[in-house]
Amino acid sequence: MENIVKIAKDAGQFNTLLTAATAAGLAETLSNDGPFTVFAPTDDAFSALPEGTVEALLKDTEKLKAILLYHVVAGKYKAKDVINKDEIKTVQGQSIHIDASDGVKVDDAHVIQADIEAENGVIHIIDKVILPK
């Protein structure tokens, strides 16, 4: 089984996320033991941000790092674990809101694929970039 970063690379739909994680110095962390739960926005999710947002964030690594860490939870939380919570604390420090009343949402992003197993955690694919408050 591969680690989170390798699985994301092989999937081919997380190029922006991987570029951002590398720029923020997080790609190596997410390759380590973990375990981590990553709510991973697709390239399409990043494309939906206002024009110039990604480029600006790549230049502001502190802000970029905070946003990326808001997508990561320490520990391995599969879908069955996530849906029983109202919120879950991120590595960034704030909590994301969980709503399982109509599918599963984290803040205002829908989980479009859950429980992608990695040797150092689990990935849930989301359709939006979520932002700390």
Confidence of residue 42 (pLDDT cuts 50, 70, 90): very high
77-95 confidence digits (pLDDT tens): 999 999 999 999 999 999 9
Residue 107 has, within 13 A of its CA and on its CB side, a CA count of: 18
pTM of the model: 0.96
Q: Which fold has domain 4-126?
A: FAS1 domain (2.30.180)
Q: What residues are paired with 89 via a beta bridge?
A: 95
CA 112, distance to chain mean position in Å, is 13
- The reported pLDDT for the residue numbered 119 is 97
Average pLDDT, the chain: 96
Domain range summary for the chain, segments of one domain joined by +? 4-126
Among candidate residues 106, 65, 102, 62, the one with its CA nearest the CA of residue 82: 106
Answer yes or no: are the C-beta atoms of 120 and 4 closer than 8 Å: yes
Answer yes or no: are the C-beta atoms of 17 and 109 closer than 8 Å: no
